[in-house]
Structure 1
């Protein structure tokens, strides 16, 4: 059941712009773990304990947020190397200025944040597939929050 939920959840995740959704994604993953382990919310079991039980039950695995980041970076590399309409949309900008105040995150902001490269430099970095694969593997790892902030 978990693989079915995961595949449905990750449908078209390459097009997501991740900002506040990070915590919601991790919460959904934790709900799935609790469901698999038959742990009620009424029982006080920390997220760390749930992760340890899942690790013991199914072994090492990637969490959903890591999968989303990896897929998004891989898709970006694929599109940036192509010459189709998707690349035009990816590189396209709208004339004018952005509105005043705090700006919403753009799709490309996630790429810039995860790789540490400016958007133009990442366009050229994509051309070397081996280096890009190594960068994707390094960038898609999700750092864990400190344990006192997790639960």
Structure 2
């Protein structure tokens, strides 16, 4: 449709009328008052960062029409997000920067504690290794057990690097299991429509792999024995008592509490971790017993290679 000059004039007139009505409505309802004064129903406008600040965060007991208001971040008095007021610390004659996270020997440590960042980083690394080895892991010239051995050696080891020191929570464990099973299904060529009817235990048996949760428990308990027999800083840190009051609610489980739960689950509470041979054989026996529980299946299965197409 082509607009003539007459239609353009009519359209402009109607648009101007609409704008006037909107202005009258805003003036009648007072909607624009907060924009003009810089004060809303529960917030105030910051002159520095040009953003609205909630009353609770503004530090004001009562909101006023102060056009020169600046929030604590613009004034430089706000604390960093991780709750650490200083940007650097003095250790002897050296100055160290305070950071939210850093990588140490391939493991990610964060100021928030826990292992959320560590598990996320290791999962990304595992997917990178998995994609690099995809031609081998999907090769029909190799048996499933050989592919499973390659996957366990190159991909799982990258995912579980430094997992001996992780105080895993349920979301952390589910993240690792979810990505581990996704890779295993891809190796076994499980189609998306068959995922719901395919049991993960059957795929683990096919590839000759142990359940991821069992491997994590075994790693933690093996490292627990090293820590108990040690006389260095790791033993001191394990027995250290932190002073101060705790917040409301149950705190997150520490690594020591997680390993004590593992010892109870695998009936190793009476096994002495200071005796290296006894502790090592006890962990291995408990691992074999747990892997042979009903529903897990045996992992000593080899499957003939699929003929190449």
> Which TM-score bucket, shorter chain as reference?
0.7 to 0.9
Cα distance in 1 for residues equivalent to 2:236 and 2:180: 34
Instruction: Note the alpha carbon deviations across 1:95-127, whole angstroms, 9 max, x for none.
Output: 12332212211111111111129xxxx6x9211
Q: Which residue of 2 aligns with 1:16?
A: 166
Give the drift of 1:128.
Answer: 2.1
The TM-score with structure 1 as length reference comes to 0.74
2:189 aligned to which of 19, 35, 38: 38
Cα distance change, pair 143–115 in 1 and its aligned pair in 2 (3 A): farther
RMSD: 3.0
The TM-score with structure 2 as length reference comes to 0.39
Q: Which residue of 2 aligns with 1:89?
A: 237
Give the drift of 1:88.
Answer: 1.1
Cα distance change, pair 98–79 in 1 and its aligned pair in 2 (3 A): same
Cα distance in 1 for residues equivalent to 2:177 and 2:204: 14
Aligned residue pairs, count: 139
Q: Is the 8 A contact 2:185 2:203 kept in 1?
A: no
Q: Is the 8 A contact 1:65 1:142 kept in 2?
A: no
The structure with the largest strand share of the pair is 2
1:136 aligned to which of 268, 274, 283: 283
Cα distance in 2 for residues equivalent to 1:116 and 1:51: 24
Cα distance change, pair 142–110 in 1 and its aligned pair in 2 (3 A): farther
- After TM superposition, list the pairs within 5 Å mapping 1:98-117 onto structure 2: 98-116=246-264
Any unmatched runs of 5+ in structure 1?
Answer: 147-151
Instruction: Note the alpha carbon deviations across 1:54-91, whole angstroms, 9 max, x for none.
Output: 423x33x3222211111111111112101111111122
Q: Which residue of 2 aligns with 1:149?
A: none
1:78 aligned to which of 218, 221, 226: 226
Q: Is the 8 A contact 2:210 2:291 kept in 1?
A: no
- After TM superposition, list the pairs within 5 Å mapping 1:52-63 onto structure 2: 52-56=202-206, 58-59=207-208, 61-63=209-211
The structure with the largest helix share of the pair is 1
> Which is higher, the Rg of structure 1 or of structure 2?
2
Cα distance in 2 for residues equivalent to 1:115 and 1:13: 17
Give the drift of 1:142.
Answer: 7.0
Cα distance in 2 for residues equivalent to 1:18 and 1:77: 18
Q: Which has the higher contact order (CA 8 A, sep 6+)?
A: 1
Cα distance change, pair 6–53 in 1 and its aligned pair in 2 (3 A): closer
Any unmatched runs of 5+ in structure 2?
Answer: 1-132, 134-150, 296-309
Cα distance in 2 for residues equivalent to 1:65 and 1:94: 30
